[in-house]
Structure 1
């Protein structure tokens, strides 16, 4: 079945046994991951999480249904998560939905899957599946997300605090949640004992890094300046910025370049296309379009997306992975420029 965000949230919070498959697709991978984390919270701290790779489902499609029907070793609840899924998972999901029993919910995070894909059509048509699309929120939607998440932690946003948090997190739902969770702990807030979140609190402990600071690092990456990027990453590290919004902003810039590159390769006028670019980014965008080829842009996007997933995975190397991915992009640009 097709579900909007509210319907999906209700289904996840109740952990309905009728839903075998949650398909979370669309470009806002961070938002999809946050909903997957929400399912884990709803199932309780003792629940076992099983991570499967899409490549495994392609080679062994029956594995998904087997895991969904298997009992936990310790008798606790369990749930299955597949990250970076695509059309290779169609057969595995078909077998899961056709199985005589399941028991353990499956979450597929599929950022590149479109609404017209066979995977989405399968989930939308089946009564035991929910498919929800996640788009990167615009500024107004991001503010509303921050307000809603704050309410869940017992925080009442005041003034422009919701907008400040959303901007500092680059609209990333997962980063917004982690930031507000930290603030709620600081204020000893909870739904049963709400606290006001004001500018003074944000100034004391909240995220205060704006887009401008992160943009300098992103510019260095796409412009082929690894030395300059290293300096910017060091500054961001001292400031305590989360790497997730940084990676997400880099992906957005690379995707925008890929779209422009594709139009130019199809015969469009580059100068006319640059008129659509924000005026402060036109110069570096023009240079980047001379540097980057379409295949290299696709490689860079894939590398940064994989780094984001790895950075958000449990027991990971954190910022080291993110910094390495960004430096790799800068070196790719430098090689193409040379």
Structure 2
């Protein structure tokens, strides 16, 4: 996604962005081609961004094939397809098309993530041990975009710069780490996805006096679901749950939660959950109802579903 955003950045300055989901593509396989080849109402420049979660490329294949067959030099299309193999028939069709290209991004290994985070820290003037870099890698599931935000936050806190480097003590993450800011939201999310109605009710009561960021919860939940979908896909391919959750890419505090949730949610269920959470974010901006009511209702719905699936 970060690569797609970087490639689209020059267009985003003057062109309208059109977002499509797997639901749009499966509902009408011609939709993607139609959007790419139709002029906007006012003749404005546009570009189309499609984000497919793990396993959804297969369901979107017909729409993408239609685009390749009918593309007539219209609006550019960016498709982010997590988990799509580069040896599939669809990938070969994209590679063979004269006006398309496929870029394969491989999952960052723990060692590569730690090395990259160390380099980020040095560029920010933060003197960081390898152990702290490893903790950040685990905390962010080796996501270098998130890791960079963590390093920048530490540099800002320390008032560090390349001209004035500052050491980052091992306790820095307990003070500034994302899990500290998001701990309460994480408790809500894990209670819901684990089907623990009693715990969810208790956590909602605990955060109610001070309130919480509904948008922050949605973003954190989507991040959690992306990781859960990735682990679920690997489990579907035969890797044991215990091996998956004990991998260094899974933050140690989250291992029990992920193990529990992998035994509840299938890949198809996780994909539908993502669609519901994205729809919830849209509803927050357009429904006119209080944000906390919408979010609490959705959390309770997810909890009841998880409880039935257990």
State the TM-score, normalizing by the size of structure 2.
Answer: 0.61
Q: How does 1:136-215 map to 2 (within 5 A)?
A: 136-144=107-115, 146=117, 155-160=124-129, 163=134, 165-176=136-147, 199=168, 206-209=176-179
Pair 1:320–1:147, CA change in 2 (3 A): farther
CA contact (8 A) 1:307 1:321 kept: no
Which residue pairs with 1:334 in the alignment? 307
Aligned mates of 1:221, 1:300 — CA distance in 2:
14
Match of 1:90 in 2: 61
- Structure 2 matches for 1:300-315, cutoff 5 A? 300-307=269-276, 309=278
Instruction: Name stretches of at least 5 consecutive residues in structure 2 with no aligned partner.
Output: 247-251
**Per-residue displacement from partner, 1:208-240 (whole Å, max 9, x unpaired)?**
4269958766664454313324555766x9898
Deviation at 1:275, TM superposition (A): 7.9
| Deviation sequence 1:273-302 (CA, Å, 0-9, x none) | 86886499998888778x74xxx5345422
Take 1:309 and 1:246, find their aligned partners in 2: how far apart are those partners?
10
**Counterpart Cα distance in 1 of 2:78 and 2:202:** 39
Q: How does 1:167-316 map to 2 (within 5 A)?
A: 167-176=138-147, 199=168, 206-209=176-179, 220-221=191-192, 223-231=194-202, 244-249=219-224, 252-253=227-228, 256=231, 278=246, 292=264, 297-307=266-276, 309=278
Q: What are structure 1's unaligned runs of at least 5 residues?
A: 1-31, 265-271
Distance 1:302 1:102, change over 3 A: same
Which residue, out of 115, 130, 138, partners 2:101? 130
Residue 85 of structure 2 corresponds to residue 117 of structure 1? no
Q: CA separation in 1, counterparts of 2:94 and 2:221?
A: 32
The residue that corresponds to 2:249 in the other structure is: none
Q: 1:126 to 1:188 in 2, by over 3 A?
A: farther
- Count of matched residue pairs: 289
Q: Tell me the TM-score normalized by structure 1.
A: 0.57
When residues 66 and 139 of structure 1 are mapped into structure 2, their CA distance, relative to the original with a 3 A threshold, is: same
Residues 61, 304 of structure 1: alpha-carbon distance in 2 compared, 3 angstrom cutoff = closer
What secondary structure sits across from 1:131 in the alignment? coil
Please provide the CA RMSD for this pair: 5.4
Tell me by how many angstroms 1:315 deviates.
7.7
Partner SS, residue 266 of structure 2: helix
Aligned-residue offset at 1:49: 0.3
CA offsets 1:246-266 (integer angstroms, 9 cap, x no match): 5444554576578769979xx
How far off is 1:79 after superposition?
1.0
Please say if residues 91 and 102 of structure 2, whose CA atoms lie closer than 8 Å, have aligned partners that are also in contact: yes
> Displacement of 1:128 after TM fit?
2.6
Q: 1:323 to 1:42 in 2, by over 3 A?
A: farther
Seen in structure 2, the aligned counterparts of structure 1 residues 65 and 336 have a Cα distance that, compared at 3 Å, is closer
Change (3 A) 1:124 1:226: farther
Classify 1:101/1:35 alpha carbon distance in 2 versus 1 (closer, same or farther; 3 Å): same
| C-alpha distance in 2 between matches for 1:320 and 1:142 | 39
Distance 2:135 2:10 in 1: 28
1:106 is displaced (CA, Å) by 0.5
Alignment check: 8 A CA contact 1:142 1:166 kept: yes
